[in-house]
Structure 1
Amino acid sequence: MLVEMRVMSLILDPLTHVPIVLLKDVEETFAIPIWIGILEAAAIEMKLNPERHAISRPMTHDLMNNILSAFDINVKKVVVCDLRDNTFYAEIHLERDGQEVVMDARPSDSIALALRSGASIWVDQKVIEQSQTIDLTEEGMIEKLSPQPEASDSSEKSEKDKWSEILERMSPEDFGKYKM
């Protein structure tokens, strides 16, 4: 059985500073965290908050969506389908002329593409059962995990300052194979 989900927010793991995408069920009763790479988190963030990011050229997931659209290929849905050895697996369901093709993909790339194409996001029930879940019915939990609106007061930290602080707390190991 598949459960429809939505992107709730992006947060940083407080211990490792690794990005986490939180997916919540459509009834907002629970959420599951999926640890992702910093580049994929940036791709998701850019789509969730486009007003914060002025991008003049298409990014990788935008390009993929544009290519699929140019060839009349529809992204029907993405499914987080498995969890093995603490690694999530996903599938992208594509359709053209009534024929469906399922592609193996990382959840982060699948989510980034779904956000751009308008495709639905689903998680297999067995993955939910194996995952740590967050109870969203607990008072204040949704507000705690949801992005907070930007303060308009100029005394508040700027977006640049916030990212500077995040990057200062990170070590080269946090970038994995993408070390600078």
Structure 2
Amino acid sequence: MKIRMVLHGIAMDPMSNSPVMLLKEVEGDRILPIWIGVLEATSIAAKLENIQFPRPLTHDLMKNIFESLGITIPKVEIVDLRDNTYYAVITVATGDKTLEIDSRPSDAIALALRLNAEIFVEEEVLKKSQLYSDTPVAEKQGEMVVTTEEEKEKLKEMLETLDPKLFKYKM
């Protein structure tokens, strides 16, 4: 089942000093945090803040190409979580043809914001995510990994009670 989400904001993880994209359920209160790269966070933040650059950023260029060719993006979906990596697809529609294009979640969201596409996350991804997982996950290459029920509760509480001042950009 696909769960409709919105971009809740971008925050900086105070522990790793990395940007975190926060997706929130439209008809619920679950939040899916996805750690993303600085360049992708910059692109998303530029759109959130309506910052115009003299030359188009990559996602703006893609938007311009799609619009020039009459291509629309009705939706983007976070479809899987494997080995601590999220997978997304961008649904591209042109004429009577619809394609699903493999994407990183941050790129999919950056395009969704620019092209007013809906955002969905597979229920299975929410179940697999570390925050909602019932099975412990081992630490991997220094990444923040939740391993016990107590740590999952702490992370959930931290995300739910984040001080809005920590949000660099929010919706």
Task: Give the TM interval when normalised to the shorter protein.
Answer: 0.7 to 0.9
Q: 1:80 aligns with which of 78, 87, 101?
A: 78
Tell me the distance in 2 between the aligned counterparts of 1:94 and 1:20.
26
Match of 2:89 in 1: 91
Tell me the distance in 2 between the aligned counterparts of 1:5 and 1:74.
19
Q: 2:162 aligns with which of 144, 160, 170?
A: 144
- What is the DSSP-based 3-state SS (H/G/I as helix, E as strand, rest coil) of the residue aligned with 2:114? helix
Match of 1:123 in 2: 121
- Structure 1, unaligned runs of 5 or more: 151-180
CA drift of 1:57 comes to 2.0
Tell me the alpha carbon deviations over residues 102-130 of structure 1, each in whole angstroms, 9 at most, x when there is no partner: 10000000000000000001000000001
- Structure 2, unaligned runs of 5 or more: 133-151
Letter in 2 for 1:75: I
Match of 2:69 in 1: 71
Letter in 2 for 1:13: D
Q: Which has the higher helix share?
A: 1
Whether 1:108 and 2:106 are equivalent positions in the alignment is yes
CA drift of 1:147 comes to 6.1
**TM-score after normalising by structure 1:** 0.73
Tell me the distance in 1 between the aligned counterparts of 2:56 and 2:165.
25
Q: Alignment RMSD, CA only? A: 2.5
Taking the TM superposition and a 5 Å limit, the aligned residue runs for 1:50-69 are: 50=50, 53-69=51-67
**Bigger shift: residues 23-32 or 83-92:** 23-32
CA drift of 1:145 comes to 5.5
Letter in 1 for 2:2: L
Would the aligned equivalents of 2:75 and 2:90 in 1 still touch at CA under 8 Å? yes
Letter in 2 for 1:48: L
**How many residues align structurally?**
146
Tell me the distance in 2 between the aligned counterparts of 1:145 and 1:100.
41
CA drift of 1:14 comes to 1.6
Give the direction of change, closer, same or farther, for the CA distance of 1:79–1:146 in structure 2 (3 Å limit): farther
Tell me the distance in 1 between the aligned counterparts of 2:90 and 2:165.
27
- What is the DSSP-based 3-state SS (H/G/I as helix, E as strand, rest coil) of the residue aligned with 1:144? coil
Tell me the alpha carbon deviations over residues 8-67 of structure 1, each in whole angstroms, 9 at most, x when there is no partner: 0111122211111000000241101001000000001111112xx342221110100110
- What is the DSSP-based 3-state SS (H/G/I as helix, E as strand, rest coil) of the residue aligned with 1:20? strand
Letter in 2 for 1:9: G
Give the direction of change, closer, same or farther, for the CA distance of 1:126–1:69 in structure 2 (3 Å limit): same
Give the direction of change, closer, same or farther, for the CA distance of 1:129–1:101 in structure 2 (3 Å limit): same
User: Which structure: larger Rg?
Assistant: 1
